[in-house]
Amino acid sequence: MTQSKALGPDPLKLYTYMELPIGATAIGIPPERRKTGLWRYMRPSFQEMVPPCLEGCPLGNWIDRFISGVDNKELDKAWWALRLENPFPGVCGRVCYHPCQESCNRKDMDGAISIQAMERYLADHFFDKKSKPLRPRKRQGKKTAVVGSGPAGLSCAYFLALMGYDATVFEAQTEPGGMMGQVIPIYRLPKEVLSRDLENIRAAGVEIRTNTPIGKGLTLSGLQQAGYQALFISVGAPLSRRLDVEGVASDGVYWGVEFLREVNSGRSIGLNGDVVVIGGGNVAIDVALTALRLGAGSVRLASLESRAEMPAHLWEQDDALEEGVSFHNGWAPKRILAENGSVVGIELKSCTSVFDKDGRFAPVYDEAVTKTLKAEAVIMAIGQATDLSFLEGSNIRVDPGETIRVDPETMQTTVTGIFAGGDIIDQPRSVSEAIGSGKRAAIAMDHYLRGDNLRKIVQKGSLARTMREHLGLDGNAVSRSRKTATLDDLNLGYCSSLTPHQPRKLSPVDRVGNFKEIKTVMSLEEVNEEAMRCLSCGVCRMCGNCYLFCPDGAVQLDSSTGRYAIDYDYCKGCGICRNECPAGAIMIEAEGEG
Amino acid sequence: MEKRKMLTGNYAAAHGARLARVEVVPVYPITPQTHIMEKMAAFVESGELDAEFVPVESEHSAMAVAIAAQATGARTFTASSAQGLVYMHENLFVASGLRLPVVMAMVNRTIGPPTTICPDLGDSLDQRDTGWIQIYTESAQEAHDMIIQAYRVGEDERVLLPVGICFEGMIISHYMEPVEILDQEKVDLFLPPYRPEHVILDPDRPMSVHQLVLDDSYYTEYRYQQQVAMEAAKGVIREVDEVFGEAFGRRYGGLISTEMMEDAEVALLTLGSMASTARAVVNQLRKDEGIPIGLVKLRVFRPFPDAELRESLSNLKAVAVLERDVSIGAGGAVYLELAHCLRKRHDSPLLTNYIIGLGGRDVTFEEIKDIALNLFEERDAEVMTNPIRWYQVRGL
Amino acid sequence: MKEINIYGRGGQGAVTAAQILATAAFGEGYWPQTFPKFGGERRGAPVVAYVRIDNEPIVIRTKVYAPDVVVVMDFNLFKMLNPLGDIKPDGTAIINYPDHGEGLPSSIIEEVASLFTVDATKIAHQIYGKTTIPITNVTLLGAYCAAVKDISLESIYEALPDFFPEEKVELNWKAAQMGYKNLRGL
């Protein structure tokens, strides 16, 4: 506590009436001499919790920090925090299925914070601005290689570059980006947005060599011999999973991923009659909406699963329904009907259940119950498949599902120094999951390259999952527990109900027959209001309530950390700071315990 | 049956109000309120007292509710202290002017700044011109008894004035000591129900009160009625003290009480809790040192007992007034009135005034003894030099 | 007249302890008087309550300047003030201290003519469970009865219903008995 400068009498001193300061009475014993800390039964301390959005984010985005940056009108700081953890803010701001919002504590109050729209806003805001690349660490003088330039590979390369490594990405195709460029329809992800994110990744120091497949000529071991000391494999699952039913070879039968890739590459596919899409996932929805844009007369979507069981996200299903796609749930393809080698329809059989009692995929059909849909094209979008032929001759272990086996913490394959991530390993196939695996691998590769004992680090539970933890960039002197903050941990007295802003969408009418981006960007005002709605669950937002309310002036700003700190010489443990902390970032326990 | 119990002054006062069967208890429940109201709330909650407990947003409002309730014919009780009592000031005139015998426990505490929670009589003495009867008590027992007597005094048709029963914060309010709680049946005999005829808000009998008097038609007469009532209160207080004594076996002496005054040459005059320690000093000086000293305890400040005081003090050589209050720029409130009451008489004693115990500063046996001995030494002086003495001020 | 100072920290029940002791004394036919030190009630801050016990009504209304007995409900108080600073030369002190009083600073031992300890915190935890503020007041009253011997333990029992709801009386009686039994003289 700083020395009190206030003038006033000291009750411990027996003044004469002439010596007693006139009029001043307020301070009593100078506060610095009143060691009220001795009164304490309870001990408060700053102890942050994990906000549920962070818990939900597969790539470890620094959500609380970029929201508080927006809230403080410090967009540069928000953008810095975002780029530190995500090389693809433009992409994720559009296509991520935002599990952060699903777990937002505010969801059941008045609606989740539109975190994704905020991320998109930042990416769009800085779209034309040259941002100085982040250089959190000096050059390490070591070479690393990444095979495949999808979100996982580029993520891994980006973070390796941030950590000072030379990162070279080998891409077989002519354009980098993997599924993001080739498959995701441009009405969800315009090409220039991806290009912009790629530009930033290159600016960070990543070298991308396109048209350079790994396998026949240049092999993994060849890369190692060429001095790349750690490798990351992320060739994805670029193929459609095939299904062998009668008539599948007919003209007018397409495969989902390949179909989307054709469309994105600009080759024209003429569709004008009735189209049936088989599949219940997000790719099936992309296929259905793309088919409509290509001129299909009608699009019907048949899936084994009921509406509730469909893996496609609800809002994607809603988009499809809005645009006129009809759903046929509980049906499986029995055979494709063809005349003169061309599709005329499809016969479906009833699927009575999809999963067994343990939740495993085990469809049961009733072959007797069938229906036939007329179709001029059938597009099969029942899943993706990997192509592991390039691994021939290596010791990398492959699992039965045709995925590469990795340690789930370090992403290291069965071969030391070779890591893998993205759709090639067994994890949910999404852009954010892929970016997350690339980042985790980059962190493990850093340890590997520095000669650390990875296994020990994992055993100790000290393997970081984010850049800010790994590089100690949190700038946060506050300790954080692993507990996720719930509504019960917060003081909602400081929160008033506010109508959420959500990104607007083009009306279904305006979407027909074009590939214009469906979702529009929010205004700065809307984004600021969204940031204001954030409850900052479990994370100190420097609101200063603890400082304001502390009756003993025992909460002070520590200039060395820029954070509030409690002076236990004076804290008498009243608990007011804890009660008045809106964010639940202060805990209290009995003195002498914990 | 009376039973004796360990009680604080606050609780003793609350028991008094309960036994008086008060019907409305308006209260501002926050600082500077006392435990009295906490106990009243408990009595109402437990059913021991059938009354309306009305929490309000300020002391000013508490008195407004008390006035309105009393005006409907309900016996009303409230309590306040320090800044709260001062905040009531305006409405105190109304209660008295409308001749409503509200009773209030005035727990004497300092008026800040500097804020303390300690005793000082300044808060109630400051209300001397409001037309309230003011009775000062020296123990929890006296506070208990006087709350009950206050209703009988105030409601007497010769009086019809509100009454404040004053006792010092902490020293009486928080001291716990044996108190005899009076028997309800006997109290009921002593204190009949309140049945007002003069001011009564009754829809069947419309009456206008508290109206504008724009000309000089009767304002002066209205005030003089209050003066007459105050004068009459002197006799009523004595009378009630006697009746109370017969009923409960305890008498306090009316407007003043005296000790060893018969052959005294000098006397201490004080009020409130200081009387206890002063009594012990007088007894000791008489017994051990043979000093002809007596004690006068002022029990009632309004109406001011000038005749009684003249009678007790006239033939003395010197009197020291010890009081826990001061009218800044003059002297102690009691001393000033006493000086006026003993003025211009050839047999008037020399007077000194000791401002002592302000803000709860302890007044010890030794200090009072020192004052008494000093007084005895000065008794034959021509004139008292420097009569107003700030006894405990450091640096004097 | 006997004068007793009971020191505790806000929330521990020092004022209640003084009132129970005075009520118990009253039950035995004495004229007691009790009052707290004037001040705000602040959790954890030092609190002192005074008790006077006499055979006749007590007329003085002043602070206690030289107590015959001092009860210290929380040893942490010694970090804030010296509860034994004004004790009479032949005074008695009863201090809440663990481990049969072993390790008690010699400055305290030398200051008091008649010194007792009782591990009231441990007893409080046994009887009332683990509370944030150890409730040591009634236990120390039991210890007082064993040490000073002017008030009987039974009188404490008789006084308890004035201060606790019916269901807590037996629990506190147990605390008083434990305090009585576990007093250690030094």
Q: Say if residue C11 is exposed, middle or buried (CB neighbours under 10 Å; 0-12, 13-18, 19+).
A: buried
Contact yes or no for C115/C122 (Cβ under 8 A):
no
* Span(s) in chain A for CATH 1.10.1060: 52-131+477-533
- pLDDT (0 to 100) of residue A470: 95
pLDDT, averaged across chain A = 92
User: Are B264 and B244 part of one and the same domain?
Assistant: no
The pLDDT of residue A20:
85
One domain for residues B219 and B280 = no
Query: Does the residue B166 lie in any domain?
Result: yes
Q: Which tens digits make up the pLDDT trace of A523-566?
A: 999 999 999 999 999 999 899 999 999 988 899 999 888 889 99
Cβ contacts of residue C121 below 8 Å, gap of 6+? C96, C98, C134, C136
Encoded tokens for B394 = 């450091």
d(CA A259, CA A238): 12
Could you give the CA distance from residue A103 to residue A117 in angstroms, rounded to a whole number? 16
Q: Do B40 and B154 belong together in one domain?
A: yes
Same domain, B295 and B228: no
Say yes or no for a CB contact (<8 Å) between B394 and A15: yes
Task: Tell me the residue range of the domain where B86 lies.
Answer: 3-248
Domain termination site, one of B201, B228, B248: B248
Residue of A nearest to B114 (CA): A25
Position A350 pLDDT exceeds 90: yes
B6, B271, B279, best to mutate vs chain C, most C CBs in 10 Å: B6
- The predicted-structure confidence for B104-149, as pLDDT tens digits, reads as follows 999 999 998 888 889 999 999 999 999 999 999 999 999 999 999 9
**What single-letter DSSP state applies at residue B106?**
E
SS3 A1: coil
> By the CB < 8 Å criterion, does C10 face chain A?
yes
C53, closest residue in chain B (CA to CA): B177
Q: Which chains does chain C touch, 3 or more C-beta pairs < 8 A?
A: A, B
Distance CA A586, CA A554 (A): 14
Please say whether the dihedral angle defined by the alpha carbons of residues A156, A80, A120 and A469, taken in this order, is positive or negative.
positive
What per-residue confidence (pLDDT) applies to B117?
Answer: 87
Chain C residues whose CB is inside 8 A of the B176 CB are 19, 22, 33-35
> Which CATH code fits A143-238+386-470?
3.50.50.60
- Same domain? For B220 and B359 the reply is no
SS3 content of chain A, % helix, strand, coil (to 5): 30, 20, 50
Whole-number CA gyration radius for chain B: 21
Q: A216 falls in which pLDDT band (50, 70, 90)?
A: confident
Beta carbons of C45 and A574 less than 8 Å apart: no
Mean pLDDT throughout C14-35? 97
Q: What is the pLDDT of residues A452-499, one digit of tens each?
A: 999 999 999 899 999 999 999 876 656 777 899 999 999 999 998 899
Give me the CATH number covering residue B311: 3.40.50.920
For the stretch B179-231, pLDDT in tens is: 999 999 999 999 999 999 898 898 898 988 888 888 888 999 999 999 999 99
Number of domains in chain C: 1
Residue B7 contacts residue B177 (beta carbons within 8 Å): yes
The strand pair at B52-55 and C184-185 is best described as unpaired
Of A315-319, B22-26, B162-166, least confident by mean pLDDT is A315-319
> Are B312 and B256 contacting, i.e. CB atoms less than 8 angstroms apart?
yes
Identify the pLDDT of residue A582.
Answer: 96
The phi and psi torsions of B16 (rounded to 5 degrees) equal -60, -45
Which residues does chain C have within 8 Å of residue B115's beta carbon, measured at their own beta carbons? none
Residue A360, C-beta contacts closer than 8 angstroms, at least 6 positions apart: none
The confidence score (pLDDT) of residue A76 equals 95
C-alpha B295/C-alpha B284 separation (Å) is 12
Number of compact structural domains in chain B: 2
pLDDT at res. B35 = 93
Quote the domain boundaries for residue C162. 2-185
Do residue B134 and residue B262 come from a single domain? no
Q: Does pTM surpass 0.80?
A: no
Instruction: Tell whether A25 is within 8 A of chain B (Cβ).
Output: yes
CA B100/CA B103 separation, integer angstroms? 9
Does residue A594 carry a pLDDT above 70? Answer: no
How many residues are present in chain B? Answer: 396
B294 lies in the same domain as B218: no
Q: Tell me the fold of A35-49+541-590.
A: Alpha-Beta Plaits (3.30.70)
What is the CATH architecture of A52-131+477-533? Orthogonal Bundle (1.10)
Name residue C31's beta-bridge partners: C54
Q: Can you give the CATH number for the domain in which B103 is found?
A: 3.40.50.970
pLDDT of residue C111: 85
User: What would the mean pLDDT of A347-370 be, rounded to a whole number?
Assistant: 93
* Nearest Cβ partner for B114 among A17, A19, A25: A25
Domain with CATH 3.50.50.60 in chain A: 143-238+386-470, 242-382
The answer to whether B177 and B185 are in contact (CB under 8 A) is: no
Residues in chain A within 8 Å Cβ distance of B395: 15-19
User: How far out from the chain centre does Cα B37 lie?
Assistant: 19
Closest to C120 in 3D by CA, of C148, C101, C92: C101
Report the alpha-carbon distance of residue B77 to residue C84 in Å, rounded.
Answer: 44
- CB–CB contacts below 8 A, A to C: 27
Are B187 and B270 contained in the same domain? no
Note whether B150 and B297 are same-domain residues: no
Q: Does B293 map to a domain?
A: yes
Pairing of strands A228-233, A143-147: parallel
Across the interface, whether the CB atoms of A572 and C10 are under 8 A apart is answered no
- The answer on pLDDT for B1 being more than 60 is no
Residues from chain B contacting residue C36 (CB–CB below 8 Å): 174
Q: Which of C35, C58, C155 to mutate to test the interface with B (most CBs of B within 10 A)?
A: C35
Q: Write out the two tokens for C53.
A: 């016990």
**Model pLDDT for residues A14-70, shown as the tens digit of each residue:** 889 998 878 766 555 666 677 889 999 999 999 999 999 999 999 999 999 999 999
Q: What's residue A1's pLDDT? A: 54
Residue in chain B closest to C60 (alpha carbons) equals B277
User: Which chain B residues are closer than 8 Å to A16 by Cβ?
Assistant: 394-395
Cα–Cα distance, A307 to A303 (Å, whole number): 9
Question: Is the CB of residue B191 less than 8 Å from the CB of residue B148?
Answer: yes
Specify if B188 maps to a domain: yes
Closest residue in chain C to residue A591, using alpha carbons only: C132
C38 with B178: Cβ contact below 8 A:
no
Strand blocks (E) in A128-273: 143-147, 166-170, 206-209, 228-233, 239-240, 253-255
Residue B385 lies in a domain: yes
CATH number of the A242-382 domain: 3.50.50.60
**Beta-bridge partner residues of B178:** B6
Mode of pairing for the β-strands spanning A42-50 and A586-590: antiparallel
Beta strands in chain B (DSSP E): 3-8, 24-27, 52-55, 77-81, 103-108, 133-136, 163-168, 176-181, 256-259, 266-270, 293-298, 300-302, 318-323, 350-355, 388-390
Token pair in block for residue A551 = 């009756």
Task: Give the mutation candidate from B326, B394, B396 for the A interface (greatest A CB count, under 10 A).
Answer: B394
B396: in domain: no
CA B11 to CA B172: how far, in whole Å?
A: 10
Q: What is the pLDDT of residue C42?
A: 82
Same domain membership, residue B280 and residue B151:
no
Using an 8 Å Cβ cutoff, are B301 and B125 in contact? Answer: yes
Residue C132: CATH number of its domain: 3.40.920.10
* Three-state secondary structure of A233-272: ECCCCCEECCCCCECCCCECEEEHHHHHHHHHCCCCCCCC
Position A54: which residue type?
A: L
Residues of A in contact with C132 (CB under 8 A): 41-42, 590
Closest CA to C33 of B175, B360, B275, B10: B175
**Average pLDDT rounded to a whole number, residues C58-62:** 89
For residue A45, give both structure tokens.
Answer: 């301390």
Please identify which residue in the block is written with the tokens 């049906």: A331
